Amino acid sequence: MKIISWNINGLKSIIQKGLIDFIKKYNVDFYLFQEIKTKEIPLTFQLLGYNVYSFPAKRNGYSGILTLSKIKPNNVKYGIGIEKFDIEGRVITMEYDKFYLINVYFPNAGVGTLKRLDFKLEFDKEFEKYVLSLNKPCIICGDFNVAHKDIDIYDPINLKGYAGFTDQERQWFDHFLSLGFIDTFRYIKGNIRKYSWFSYSIIARKKNEGWRLDYCVVSKELKDKIVNADILDNVYGSDHVPILLEINI
């Protein structure tokens, strides 16, 4: 089973940049897109053979997620049951016989002022509670909006304390993984440096000055089923790049 997760930073924009060709090329079982920024989902995805599950934000042009699945789920849940988070379209959970697949877009703590740090940390806590309430192993992929370790950011000394690299956000991710979850990229790739987000500056991408903000995390029960995990940093179209998980389940 192959999964690609990608913060596309605007569905309408990335379709014009070749999203359909990308989907056809990789032809994976699941595409999990974050930050779609629209309520309008084209029929093209269904014509490509995917079941389509969209959870847009209430506010136009903001947030929202989209899951494309070749394998129809037993059940689909939108949100985590808390209105102030769910109106931003941040979580889709698909239930299958042996696992849950969760598409998630974590809030940004707020560039510069950290004005949404408390909101982000509360979401972290409530998302954790939600996942722990589920009764099957989980595959959780999306934009976590945090660079976990120093190796996950190009300049850990000078960027310490910035949104996505605060002690509080990183400590929560430590805690979350300690509850029984695996960062699949680190499990497969060890200490390889690869990043999933770059500023739109051409220089940042050329110099590989990025952050690893996007993750596929799985329950420890699935550890022996992980086949491959990677960051597709040769793909363009968004400020993020896609991440890949291959798992036997």
Give the DSSP letter string of the chain: -EEEEEE-S-HHHHHHTTHHHHHHHH--SEEEEE----S---THHHHTT-EEEEE--SSTTS--EEEEESS--SEEEES-S-HHHHTT--EEEEE-SS-EEEEEEPPP--TTT-TTHHHHHHHHHHHHHHHHT-SS-EEEEEE-----SGGGBS-TTTTTTSTT--HHHHHHHHHHHHTTEEEHHHHHHTT----SEE-S-HHHHHTT-EE--EEEEEEGGGGGGEEEEEE-TT--SSSB--EEEEE--
Answer yes or no: pTM beyond 0.85.
Answer: yes
Query: Residues annotated in the binding site for Mg(2+), as ranges?
Result: 7, 35, 143, 145, 239-240
188 contacts 229 by C-beta, under 8 angstroms: yes
Confidence category of residue 89, pLDDT binned at 50, 70, 90: very high
The answer, yes or no, to whether residue 113 has pLDDT greater than 90, is no
**Structural domains in the chain plus CATH codes:** 2-247 (3.60.10.10)
Residue stretches of the annotated binding site: 7, 35, 143, 145, 239-240
Percent of the chain surpassing pLDDT 70: 100
Confidence of residue 49 (pLDDT cuts 50, 70, 90): very high
pLDDT band at 155 (very low <50, low <70, confident <90, very high): very high
So which residues are the catalytic ones? 105, 143, 240
Q: What is the signed CA dihedral for 133, 137, 141, 145, rounded to 10 degrees? A: 50
Across the beta sheet with 181-183, the strand order is 75-78, 91-95, 100-105, 138-143, 214-219, 181-183
Question: Taking residues 110-138, what's their average pLDDT?
Answer: 96
C-alpha torsion sign, points 62, 244, 213, 218 = positive
Quick one: pLDDT at residue 25? 97
pLDDT at 79: 98
Spatial distance between the Cα atoms of 38 and 120, rounded to a whole number of angstroms = 22
Segment 72-76 mean pLDDT: 98
Better pLDDT: 201 or 238: 238
